[in-house]
Structure 1
Amino acid sequence: MKQVLIFDADDTLWENNVLFERVIDDYLEWLRHPTMDRAQLRAILNDIERANVPILGYGSKALLGSLHAMFEHINSRPVNDRERREIDELAARLREHKVDLVPGVSETLAELGGRHELLLLTKGNPDEQQGKLDASNLAHHFASVHIVPEKDVPTYRSLVGERSLDVGRTWMIGNSPKSDILPARQVGMSAVFIPNQHTWVLEHDELDPADTGVLHLERFTQLVDHF
């Protein structure tokens, strides 16, 4: 039976957070705090990013805002112009919209598209996400593309209404328990969890191992064996 397969983008179709992690590593090296180690500094950054998500959203601009805020927090003073430029330069690569596809993505989407309806659901800055999608050359596989500020239960319910989806034959496919799997399950969709070792720490959450509505796969290419 033809089904609707909704795909996450970042860290499902292409590598994304690994680029952010490299910027953060460079930033912590640049910071060279005299008393706190990298683990302590990273814990502070995680807290700042968590607090900033409702204000700044996601993406490179949000990360930059959090890096500036962290500098001011631990140094108890504003960032000066030179320091701001240096921090911005550390994150310059994130604005290039270069895309490193997960192995087998193009071929897998082509095969699945011949049997099912494919949608894309991604969160973040619209220009940034659209830039990555354009660079990926994957847009033609999807019947519709949805770039949203947040992927929560109301977002999934809105998509169900907008596309008149039958949740009983709709699957959400992604790497994030928090944004892809749990909210999709709450609206009645099934889900496919494909973990990515670089998934952002704020996207982690616990999945119920007894939930038969979640299919766990190791690789993206395994989708063709199930759909």
Structure 2
Amino acid sequence: MRLTEQVLIFDADDTLWENNILFERVIADFLDWLEHPTLDRVEIRAVLDDIKAANAVSHGYGGKVFLRSLAECLERLYERPATTRERRRIDELAVTLIERRVELVPGVAETLADLGTRHELLLLTKGDQDEQRRKLDASRLAHHFSGIHIVPEKGVDAYLRLVERHDLTPLTTWMIGNSPKSDILPARQAGMNAVFIPHDHTWVLEQGELDPGDERVLRLGAFPELLDHF
């Protein structure tokens, strides 16, 4: 039985824990290491971003796909296959992504513990199943959620399936996240409310235009501010 009518659904990457900034650090190291006779860092980054976007569609998300993108970027720039030594170096650059400890966003653990005394909490995140589960286990946050859902993409269909599975009432359900594309816009299309908590390092492919006049989108500056509203 639910404590209140409101159900809160949380995104994970860059909402509960840091994610994209870790990829950005690896990209910076990759650009430092990669030398090209004619292209500068901005031009190389544009090539990499195109490859990452294509691979997200074809292969999904996560550290393994990211490593693939780095290798493909090198191969496209040099018009040859990556050598064993180059692939080893790419693996070394990205080892922190594959074997890292999870760094929680400030205030997340305390806020979830408080909210869980009043509301049902669900988790909806996208990405590689094993990788996301590992991060969730490392975060020690799983016990706060009555349902954990890891999906390949977070379009409106994913939200509608969640409504059906948990018998949710969209008008009293809130999706909380940092991504306009994956969190806010599809949740609103599914009839839910949304809480937008921007993150300075949200991936460019997760950006999107929000309606400033949408009264069912709450905008907050930091995760602990949820306690002022819920």
> Shorter-normalised TM-score: what interval?
over 0.9
Residue 157 of structure 1: how far off its partner (Å): 1.1
Is the CA contact (8 Å cut-off) linking 1:160 and 1:167 kept in structure 2?
yes
Q: Give me the whole-angstrom Cα distance separating, in 2, the residues matched to 1:10 and 1:97.
A: 14
Instruction: Structure 2: state its 5+ residue gaps.
Output: none
Partner of 2:207: 204
Partner of 2:161: 158
Which residue among 105, 127, 132 is the counterpart of 2:130? 127
Q: Give me the whole-angstrom Cα distance separating, in 1, the residues matched to 2:93 and 2:52.
A: 17
Matched AA of 1:50: A
Q: Give me the whole-angstrom Cα distance separating, in 1, the residues matched to 2:35 and 2:168.
A: 51
Residue 54 of structure 1: how far off its partner (Å): 1.9
2:196 pairs with 1:187: no
Cα distance per residue 1:111-141 (max 9 Å; x no partner): 1111110000111111111111111110010
2:92 pairs with 1:66: no
Matched AA of 1:31: L
TM-score, normalising length: structure 1? 0.98
Is the CA contact (8 Å cut-off) linking 1:2 and 1:115 kept in structure 2?
no
Q: Give me the whole-angstrom Cα distance separating, in 2, the residues matched to 1:141 and 1:198.
A: 25
Residue 2 of structure 1: how far off its partner (Å): 3.1
Partner of 2:101: 98
Is the CA contact (8 Å cut-off) linking 1:56 and 1:65 kept in structure 2?
no
2:185 pairs with 1:173: no
Which residue among 198, 201, 216 is the counterpart of 2:219? 216
Residue 18 of structure 1: how far off its partner (Å): 0.7
Partner of 2:115: 112
TM-score, normalising length: structure 2? 0.96
SS at match of 1:15: coil
2:1 pairs with 1:5: no
Matched AA of 2:219: H
Poorly superposed stretches of 4+, deviation over 6 Å:
none
Instruction: Structure 1: state its 5+ residue gaps.
Output: none
2:57 pairs with 1:54: yes
Q: Percent identity?
A: 65
Q: Give me the whole-angstrom Cα distance separating, in 2, the residues matched to 1:167 and 1:113.
A: 19
Residue 107 of structure 1: how far off its partner (Å): 0.8
SS at match of 2:12: coil
Residue 163 of structure 1: how far off its partner (Å): 1.2
Residue 7 of structure 1: how far off its partner (Å): 0.2
Which residue among 68, 77, 82 is the counterpart of 1:79? 82
SS at match of 1:100: coil
Q: CA RMSD in A?
A: 0.9
Partner of 1:32: 35
